[in-house]
């Protein structure tokens, strides 16, 4: 673009023209001469087939599509311009458009079409809508600031989309948007206090070229979007309390929904979420991190997924469902027994869903220890145990001796040997040992549980270590 020099005449008593005098435009932009002159500039650009140069202009409220008719085929330069409630709905731009450093005080770009490159570099938006907008070439929002609601619902980015260093200070909505090629959200800032950002029902046609890096996504939702192959680098998810960096916003909605259902409060429609919705996002994140060989973080998302299954379940609602409109299931928080003694509960306590090595190792050590103590209290560790000191005469049953043999090293060694032989699944017991029910119980606990959980945990650890 050539160096810009304003050709407009300065106002009487001012060194600025009507478009470069901020105070004048604020007080008089509704006057006929300001809007009329802007319309003339657009018409002149079209008729002479020359670029529309409005650098640093203060633009009055206009409906751009009405000024340009079927489309605008010339380059447009609105760098550092200020727009007052300007409507670009349905406008069509065939050549490049530059809004670098522009300020928008309430702008609408609904169904607008940009056939060539468009630049919103370091632009500032108040309320802005890009609903159904089409970006056929590069769309560059590098460093743009969205101070209030930003709506990109159904927008289509057919080429590279850049939101690097963009700042979403309030709510933003990309629901139903399509990203056909590269999309960069590196070091973008998403609101963590005032609002949420929705990337729901997104189509990522080339997910390997979509990146979120060095950002906090605690208030970003990816429901119903396939995020298994997009790139997350140095991302902090984190709950609202800041204590758990792997809690997604959908889980917070779920917990709030459960609280409201329990108290009989009416639900917030926009935040209704099913248990399966949340589990699906966690599964997608786990698969994503596994694909990137980031197994430690993938394991944490797996734990979050399993914890939700342990703590909640969904049931079909009965009776009056007026408090939960248009929802097929009611979220139920599991009771103490179900949380701790269901299969998921036991799996958690015994091995943290296969992610812990020390838990099954501790169970194994406790099993051997308790078994050794049991055999130490018997007069003969090779016989069947008894809790009585006066057993009837039997060659298969020992007598209970309490702590009498606790300091006897040979007795301790025999007790320990039988415990280890019982504990190791494939190790046969010596022929002189009278095998009984207790031996089989120890083998089941040691073999089927402890060793099984240890194998699962060790396999995951070694996979993570040697497949990087």
- pLDDT tens by residue, 331-380: 888 999 999 999 899 899 988 888 888 998 888 888 889 888 988 988 88
Of 61-65, 367-371, 462-466, where does mean pLDDT reach its minimum?
462-466
> What is the percentage of the chain residues whose pLDDT exceeds 90?
47
Q: Higher model confidence: residue 397 or residue 389?
A: 397
Of 167-176, 239-248, 303-312, where does mean pLDDT reach its minimum?
239-248
- What CA–CA distance (Å, rounded) separates 465 from 431? 42
pLDDT at residue 174, rounded to an integer: 98
Q: Higher model confidence: residue 269 or residue 330?
A: 330
Of 54-63, 238-247, 372-381, where does mean pLDDT reach its minimum?
238-247
pLDDT at residue 209, rounded to an integer: 97
Of the pLDDT bands very low, low, confident and very high (cuts 50, 70, 90), residue 114 is very high
pLDDT at residue 293, rounded to an integer: 87
pLDDT (tens digit per residue) in 211-238:
999 999 999 999 999 999 999 999 999 7
pTM of the model: 0.82
Q: Is the dihedral of CA 367, 369, 370, 371 positive or negative?
A: positive
- What CA–CA distance (Å, rounded) separates 179 from 157? 5
Of 15-19, 275-279, 448-452, where does mean pLDDT reach its minimum?
448-452
Helix axes 358-376, 409-423, angle to 10 degrees: 130
pLDDT at residue 286, rounded to an integer: 94
* Mean pLDDT value across residues 122-128: 95
Of the pLDDT bands very low, low, confident and very high (cuts 50, 70, 90), residue 322 is very low
- What CA–CA distance (Å, rounded) separates 164 from 188? 6
pLDDT (tens digit per residue) in 402-458:
888 888 888 999 888 888 888 887 666 666 677 777 777 777 777 678 888 888 888
* Mean pLDDT value across residues 289-293: 91
pLDDT of 108 > 90? The answer is: yes
- What count of other Cβ atoms lies within 10 Å of the Cβ of residue 184? 22
pLDDT of 137 > 50? The answer is: yes
Task: Measure Cα distances from 63 to 20, 79, 180, 301, 334 in Å.
Answer: 20, 19, 29, 48, 56
pLDDT at residue 422, rounded to an integer: 81
- What CA–CA distance (Å, rounded) separates 116 from 76? 11
pLDDT at residue 419, rounded to an integer: 84
Of the pLDDT bands very low, low, confident and very high (cuts 50, 70, 90), residue 100 is very high
> What is the percentage of the chain residues whose pLDDT exceeds 70?
88
pLDDT at residue 455, rounded to an integer: 82
């Amino acid at each position: 673009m050539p160096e810009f020099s304003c050709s407009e005449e300065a106002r009487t008593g001012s060194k600025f023209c009507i478009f470069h005098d901020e105070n004048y435009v604020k007080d008089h932009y509704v006057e006929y001469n300001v809007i009329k002159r802007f319309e003339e500039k657009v018409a002149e650009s079209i008729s002479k087939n020359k670029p529309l140069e409005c650098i640093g202009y203060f633009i009055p409220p206009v409906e751009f599509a009405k000024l340009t008719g079927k489309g605008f085929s010339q380059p447009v330069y609105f760098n550092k311009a200020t727009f007052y409630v300007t409507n670009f709905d349905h406008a069509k731009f065939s050549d490049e458009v530059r809004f670098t450093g522009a300020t928008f005080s309430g702008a609408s770009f609904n169904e607008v079409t940009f056939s060539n490159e468009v630049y919103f570099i370091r632009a500032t938006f108040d309320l802005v809508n890009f609903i159904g907008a089409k970006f056929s070439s590069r769309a560059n929002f590098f460093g743009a600031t969205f101070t209030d609601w930003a709506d990109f619902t159904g927008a289509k980015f057919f080429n590279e989309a850049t939101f690097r260093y963009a700042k979403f200070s309030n709510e933003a909505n990309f629901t139903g948007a399509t990203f056909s090629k590269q999309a960069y959200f590196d070091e973008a800032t998403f609101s963590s206090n005032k609002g949420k950002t929705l990337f729901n029902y997104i189509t990522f046609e080339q997910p390997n070229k979509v990146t979120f890096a060095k950002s906090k996504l605690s208030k970003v939702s990816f429901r119903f979007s396939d995020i298994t192959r997009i790139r997350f680098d140095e991302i902090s998810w984190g709950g609202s309390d800041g204590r758990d960096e792997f809690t997604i916003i959908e889980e917070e909605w779920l917990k709030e929904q459960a609280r409201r259902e329990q108290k009989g409060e009416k639900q917030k429609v926009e935040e209704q979420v099913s248990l399966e919705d949340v589990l699906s996002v966690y599964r997608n994140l786990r698969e994503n991190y596994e694909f990137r060989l980031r197994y430690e973080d993938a394991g944490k998302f797996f734990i979050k997924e399993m914890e939700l299954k342990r703590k909640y379940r969904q049931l079909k609602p009965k009776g009056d469902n007026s408090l939960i409109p248009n929802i097929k299931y009611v979220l139920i928080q599991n009771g103490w027994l179900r949380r701790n003694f269901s299969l998921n509960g036991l799996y958690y306590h015994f091995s943290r869903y296969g992610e812990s090595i020390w838990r099954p190792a501790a169970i194994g050590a406790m099993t051997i220890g308790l078994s050794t103590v049991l055999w130490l209290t018997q007069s003969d560790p090779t016989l069947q145990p008894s809790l009585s000191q006066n057993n009837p005469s039997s060659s298969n049953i020992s007598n209970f001796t309490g702590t009498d043999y606790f300091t006897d090293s040979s007795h301790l060694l025999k007790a320990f040997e039988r415990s280890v032989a019982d504990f190791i699944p494939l190790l046969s017991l010596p022929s002189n040992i009278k095998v009984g029910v207790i031996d089989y119980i120890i083998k089941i606990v040691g073999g089927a549980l402890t060793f099984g959980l240890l194998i699962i945990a060790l396999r995951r650890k070694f996979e993570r270590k040697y497949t990087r």
